[in-house]
Structure 1
Amino acid sequence: MSQHAPIAIPAEVRSRLKALRLVPRQARGAHGIGQHASRSRGAGLEFAQYRAYEPGDALRQIDWKLYARSDRFFVRESERESPITTWVLLDASASAAQADRARPDWSRLDHACATAACVVELALQQGDRFGAIVVNGHGVQVVPAGTGPRQRDRVHLLLRGVQAHGGWPPLDALRPVWERVQAGHLLVALGDGFDEANTVLLERLAAARREVLQVQLLSAEERDFPFAQGHRFEDPETGEALLGDGRAIRDGYLARFDQAQRALQARLQAAGIAHALGYLDQPLDTPLGVLFGTGRRAWA
C-alpha cells in the first residue's frame, strides 16, 4: 500500500463487519460490572436530535419528510445505552515493514493499517467515538477521538502517511497515550507483539482500568518458516543478523517461537488483556471476528 493510496476494505470483509460489535467486557457484565447507564447519540431507538447529512451516513437515517419540507438532507440521531470510545494503537516500528516473499508488496504495516480501518468502520457503524495512535521511532502521533465520517477521514489521513521506522520509544515518551486513553476506553493494539515496551504499556493501561485488546499480526513466514536453503535473517530494528541453513534450524525455531507465543499469551491473560492472532495471508477481519464476533474466544 503506497503512502497516499486509499485504505480499501474488501467488499466481502466490509460485509462481514456488519455482524461484529465493539462491546467492552464492562458493558457485558464481566467481572461483576454492570452495563453503563450513560448515553450517546447513534443509531438507537430513542430520538435525540437532527444533524446535517454527511457522506457515508446510512440512507435509512435520513428524515425524508423533513427533506420534503426543507429540500435539505438531515440525519436523525438517537440516544442509546453504553457509549464507548475506541482507540487503535498502531505499532509502526521498523519490523512493521516486514512482508512475505509470496507477497512482497503487502507488509505488516499495510495489514495493520487496513485492520485499523476495519476497527474504525465498526465504531462508525455504531455511532461511537474513535481515535488513533501511531508509535514508532519518531515518537507518538495522535488523532484525538471524535465521531462521524469526517473523523474516519482524519484517521485514514494519519494511516496513509505512516511509515515503519526505528524501535519503540521509552515509556516516558508515551505520555500522549495516557493523556488520551481514559479509564473505561477500549484500546485495540495492532502489531507483532515482540516489543517489550509495547507489552509493558498494554499491561499498565489494563491495570489502570483501560479495556485493552491486542491483535498480534504475524507474517506467514514467521508462522511456517518455509526457508530450505542458506538464509540471512536480520532484525530490522537492531541490525543483528544470523546466517543459517533454514532446513537445519526450522524445528528449533518453530519450537522456540511456539514457546514465546505461549509465554506472551499467558502474560496478557494475567493482565486481563484479550489476544487474537492474525496473519498477513488471512482476511483482515479474522482476528476481529475472534474479539468481536458472537462467539468471542479471546477474553482473558
Structure 2
Amino acid sequence: MLTPKATDARQYLLPEVVSRLKNLDLIARFIVEGFLVGLHKSPFHGFSVEFSEHRQYMPGDNIRDIDWKVYGRTDRYYIKQYEEETNLKANILVDISGSMGYSSHGITKLEYAVYLAAALSYLLLKQRDAVGLALFSDKIHRYLPPKSTSSYIKFLLSEQSKAEQQQNKTVVSQTLHTMAEKIRRPGLVILLTEFLYEDADKILEGLRHFRYYQHDVIVFNILDPNDRFFNFSDEATFVDMETNEELKTQPFLIRENYRQMVDSFYETLKSECHNMQVDFQNVLTTDQFDQPLMRYLLKRKRLY
C-alpha cells in the first residue's frame, strides 16, 4: 500500500500539495499520515491509529478476545473492540452551494472542504468511530448514515469525490434544522461551510437545534483569503456566484469597512457559539490541514 515517507509526510498537510493528487483515498490517507507524524510534538504524543481497533483488557473481559499479536509487540493485554463498542457517531455536513466554488488562487472552498471531510472520515473510522456524511446547499442532496465498518471509507470517499458545486443559494440555517430533526440521537456534528451570506441569528438558531438534541458541534467556517481580508486590487466587478448579481467598485474604497464588518460578524458568531458550547473555527483555504484536525482531536479527547 502506498504511504508517504515520514520525512515527506508533513508536506501533505499543505493544500497546494495534496491538490496535485487525483485519488481522494490517497489524499485522505496522506493528510492523516502527515498529521500523525507531527503529533509527537503535541499534547497527543503517543497517539496512534495502529491500535485503534483495540482497547486495554479489563477484569471481566473474555480472555479469548485478547489479541496475542498485539501483546507480543507491546507486552500489554489488548482485546479487539467490536462495532457495538464504537465510541461515538459523527456526521460530517459539507456545504456544496455555489459560493463554495470560489477561489482567488489555489483550491476552491469546496475542494478544501472535501479534502478535510475525507481526512476526518479516515481518522474517525480508524478510531472505530461511526461516521456519516451529508452534502447540502439549500437542501440535502445526499445523506449517508453513520457506520463504523472499515469498508465504509471507500463508499464515503466515493460520494465525497462526486460532490459538485451547486448553483443553489446557501441557506445553512434551514439545512441545520432539517439535519437536526433527521439525526436526533446525540453524537458529534462536524459542519464544513462558509458563514458569510446569512443572518447570524438564523445561523445560531440552527446550531441551537443540534444542541437541543445534545449533539456536540464543531463548525469549520471555510473561507478564501479574499473572503476574509478583501485583498482585491484595481477596479473590479464582483459577481455573486449564487445569484449572478454584479457590483462594480474600487476595492480600496470599501476594504476597511468590509474587514470591520466581517470581523464583527465572526466575533458575534464565536462568542455566541462559545456560550452554547459549540466549537467555531475560521479556516482559510491556504491553512494546513493539521489545524482543523487538531481542533477535532481536542474536541474528541475532551468529550469522549
- After TM superposition, the score normalised by the length of structure 2 is 0.71
Structure 2 contact 98–241 (Cα < 8 Å) conserved: yes
Residue 113 of structure 1 corresponds to which residue in structure 2? Answer: 114
Structure 2: how far apart are the matches of 1:112 and 1:49?
Answer: 43
What code does the residue aligned with 1:191 have?
A: T
Q: Name the structure with the higher helix share.
A: 2
Written as runs of structure 1 = structure 2, the 5 A alignment for 1:118-157 is 118-137=119-138, 139-157=140-158
Q: Deviations over 1:264-294 (max 9, x none)?
A: 2123223321111211011122123234249
User: Shift of residue 136 of structure 1?
Assistant: 1.6
What code does the residue aligned with 1:182 have?
A: R
What code does the residue aligned with 1:211 have?
A: D
Residue 16 of structure 1 corresponds to which residue in structure 2? Answer: 35
Structure 1 contact 45–78 (Cα < 8 Å) conserved: no
Q: Are positions 1:278 and 2:283 aligned together?
A: yes
- After TM superposition, the score normalised by the length of structure 1 is 0.72
User: Shift of residue 257 of structure 1?
Assistant: 1.2
Given the alignment, which residue of 85, 101, 108 partners 1:97?
A: 101
Structure 2 contact 133–156 (Cα < 8 Å) conserved: yes
Q: Deviations over 1:147-199 (max 9, x none)?
A: 13311111111111111211246977777624552332001100112345655
Shift in alpha-carbon separation, 1:226–1:9, aligned structure 2, 3 A = same
Residue 162 of structure 1 corresponds to which residue in structure 2? Answer: 163
Structure 1 contact 187–212 (Cα < 8 Å) conserved: yes
Shift in alpha-carbon separation, 1:50–1:145, aligned structure 2, 3 A = farther
Shift in alpha-carbon separation, 1:96–1:49, aligned structure 2, 3 A = farther
Structure 2: how far apart are the matches of 1:223 and 1:16?
Answer: 26
Q: Deviations over 1:205-238 (max 9, x none)?
A: 1122111110111111122322120011222223
- State the secondary structure of the residue aligned to 1:188: strand
**Unaligned segments of structure 1, at least 5 residues:** 21-40, 52-60, 65-75
Structure 1: how far apart are the matches of 2:62 and 2:111?
Answer: 38
Structure 1 contact 118–285 (Cα < 8 Å) conserved: no
Q: Name the structure with the higher strand share.
A: 1
Shift in alpha-carbon separation, 1:288–1:170, aligned structure 2, 3 A = closer
Given the alignment, which residue of 224, 232, 240 partners 2:229?
A: 224
Structure 2 contact 193–220 (Cα < 8 Å) conserved: yes
Shift in alpha-carbon separation, 1:89–1:11, aligned structure 2, 3 A = same
Shift in alpha-carbon separation, 1:294–1:262, aligned structure 2, 3 A = closer
- State the secondary structure of the residue aligned to 2:151: helix
Shift in alpha-carbon separation, 1:236–1:129, aligned structure 2, 3 A = same
Structure 1 contact 43–126 (Cα < 8 Å) conserved: no
Residue 25 of structure 1 corresponds to which residue in structure 2? Answer: none
Aligned residues: 256
What code does the residue aligned with 2:211 have?
A: A
Given the alignment, which residue of 176, 181, 184 partners 1:182?
A: 184
Q: Which moved more, 1:255-264 or 1:189-198?
A: 189-198
What code does the residue aligned with 1:116 have?
A: A
Structure 1 contact 49–77 (Cα < 8 Å) conserved: no
Structure 2: how far apart are the matches of 1:6 and 1:124?
Answer: 15
Structure 2 contact 98–170 (Cα < 8 Å) conserved: no
Residue 12 of structure 2 corresponds to which residue in structure 1? Answer: none
Name the Cα RMSD after superposition: 3.7
